[in-house]
Amino acid sequence: MQVAVEALGASRRQMITVVPAPQVSAAFEAALRKLGAKVKVPGFRPGKVPRQMLERRYAGYLREEVIEAVLPSHLRAALAQAGAQPLEQPTLAEVGDVRPGEGLELRFLYEEMPHFELRGVEPTELEVTEVFVDDEDIEAELTARAEAQATTAPCEEPAALGDSVTMQLTLTTADGLSESEYQTGTLGDAQAYWTPLALGRRGGEAIDGSIEVPEGQAGAVGGHLAQASGTIHAVSRRVVPNRAALAAALGHADDAAMVQAIRTDLEQQAATANQQRREGAALGHVIAASGIELPEALVRHATSAHIAGLFGSEPSDSPKFRKVVDLLAQMVRPQVVEGLQHTLLAERLVTTLGIEVSDDEVKAAAAAAAARAQGPAGADEAGEPGETPSDEEARLRHTVASEKATAALVAQMSFVIRDRVPWRERAKRSAPPAHGQAAHVHGPDCDHDHDHDDHVGHAHGHDHDDETGGSSTAALVGA
């Protein structure tokens, strides 16, 4: 069988194959017999229409029948012979002429997992932005935790903005329109148009005054000036615990112990974030250097899986909901692409470095995952739906191997702290990489000024004047 595969890019492939002439002839004769038995042509009995007339009148039909007959089995055989592993069903791009006794040329297009040369793994100096925890972060966290512990309690003081009020309200316009309603809401909220009537009043006090009722509120009275009457039934106020009460609620001996516990917690989170920044800088640098291009089919499938995970199931395919899903797909695509690139790179590093994972490491990973599953983010740590014990072990082994490979890459690099930002500003000040890349290597081919203060996410290569303290790619890949 004639099969030729041509690379059209990192993952796109073109396969040209020829269906052997005997198969084409057999399919053509079968299609001709089928046609001759059922076609009706004036002047001829069924089954007696001349072959030449059938071939001339029904050339298009015969062509389609032959293609449909030979295509499935031939495509499977051609892919197997070429050792191809398409991510999706190949697209039939071109079909040659169908002639009995001649081979039929077919051209297919498909995408495979990308092939790339691993580059950028030599010891390199990368610039990163580091986060740290200061007293203002501690105070912000104390405020957030106090707000989380806040309760609502009956209030005997005059109602103020932010208080919750329950009241019976009757509204009457000058032309006799009237509406009575039972209102519960927070003073100052956009929907609480009656806020001016309740401000400064205690529970049990009467309401008396006039108010401009917004359009769409209070039934027929909406859009009119109305006289209001009624009664404030109850006023409640949100009570935020003071520091002593908060320490007790959180299980700490006193304020000092609470502050120290929060500081330790935030510093651990900051340390984890800084490690992730180093990993991201190292992986991003190698991804940019290696030019890892992702097949669109892979990105599309991963994006669909990501969105299904957000919804808990496959989202509706209705036209109206499809627009929402398409918009969401555009939003999550950069995150999905980055995740896929990191995964592909980690898998290549695992193979290149010959990373091995022991049974004890898998057990430790399982224990850690089980412990995390008991925490607030337990749902995120649960195994895959329908996952068998062997599947779980394979997944954990793969995860540990990827983590070890990433750690080996990070250990190969050195890092310069370009900037330090407080924990509370970590999202606002996560600096973008220079030149549209995850990390930029300074070398003799650079076409810009080497001013370190103007660039973020750079990497100093061996051609730079700085000392890197590294040797070569062989140190990492064991070449």
Q: How many C-alpha atoms does 284 have within 13 Å on its Cβ side?
A: 25
Is the per-residue pLDDT at 278 higher than 90? Answer: yes
Instruction: State yes or no: pLDDT of 433 exceeds 70.
Output: no
Give yes or no for a contact between 217 and 177, defined as CB atoms under 8 angstroms apart.
no
Of 313, 253, 252, 294, residue with least CA distance to 116: 294
Rounded distance, CA 411 to CA 277, Å?
A: 13
**CATH of span 151-239:** 3.10.50.30
Does 448 or 360 have the greater pLDDT score?
360
The pLDDT assigned to 466 comes to 35
* Whether pLDDT at 477 is above 60: no
d(CA 336, CA 360): 31
Counting beta carbons within 10 angstroms of the beta carbon of residue 221, is it exposed (0 to 12), middle (13 to 18) or buried (19 or more)? buried
Q: Per mean pLDDT, which range of 6-10, 156-160, 406-410 is the poorest?
A: 6-10
Question: Distance of CA 117 to CAs 237, 342, 405, 440, Å?
Answer: 64, 15, 17, 18
Q: Which amino acid is at 151?
A: T
- Range with top average pLDDT, 59-68, 372-381, 454-463: 59-68
- pLDDT tier at 375, thresholds 50, 70, 90: low
- Tell me: pLDDT of 446 over 50: no
| Mean pLDDT of the region 369-387 | 64
Predicted pLDDT at 86 = 95
- The position carrying tokens 């290696």 is 290
Rounded mean pLDDT of 394-405?
94
Interatomic CA distance for residues 280 and 177, integer angstroms: 65
Assign 376 a pLDDT band (cuts: 50, 70, 90).
Answer: low
**How many CB atoms neighbour CB 308 within 10 A?**
13
Residue 276 has pLDDT above 70, yes or no: yes
Distance CA 194, CA 316 (A): 40
Which part of the chain is CATH 1.10.3120? 125-135+256-477
**Cβ atoms < 10 Å from Cβ of 272:** 11
- pLDDT of the residue at 173: 94
How high is the pLDDT of residue 410?
96
346 touches 406 (CB < 8 A) = yes
pLDDT at 455 over 50: no
In the chain, CATH 3.10.50.30 covers 151-239
Does 247 score more than 50 pLDDT?
A: yes
pLDDT, one tens digit per residue, over 178-196 is 999 999 999 999 889 999 9
Give pTM, 2 decimals.
0.67
**Band of residue 383 on the pLDDT scale cut at 50, 70, 90:** low
- Whether the per-residue pLDDT at 459 is higher than 50: the answer is no
On whether the CB atoms of residues 176 and 184 are closer than 8 A, the answer is: no
pLDDT in tens, 215-226: 989 999 999 999
CATH number attached to the domain at 125-135+256-477:
1.10.3120
Superfamily of domain 2-111: Trigger factor ribosome-binding domain (3.30.70.1050)
The C-alpha torsion from 412 through 418 and 420 to 425, rounded to 10°, is: -100
Would you tell me how many other CB atoms lie within 10 Å of the CB of residue 198? 24
The whole-number pLDDT of residue 382 equals 53
- Contact, 151 vs 239, CB < 8 A? yes
Per-residue model confidence (pLDDT) at position 386: 59
Residues of each domain in the chain carrying CATH 3.30.70.1050:
2-111
Q: What are phi and psi of 372, to 5 degrees?
A: -65, -30
CB atoms within 10 A of CB 15: 22
Residue 115 confidence (pLDDT) above 90: no
Name the E strands within 139-259: 151-154, 164-173, 178-186, 206-212, 225-239
Percentage above 70 pLDDT, the chain: 86
Average pLDDT of the chain is 86
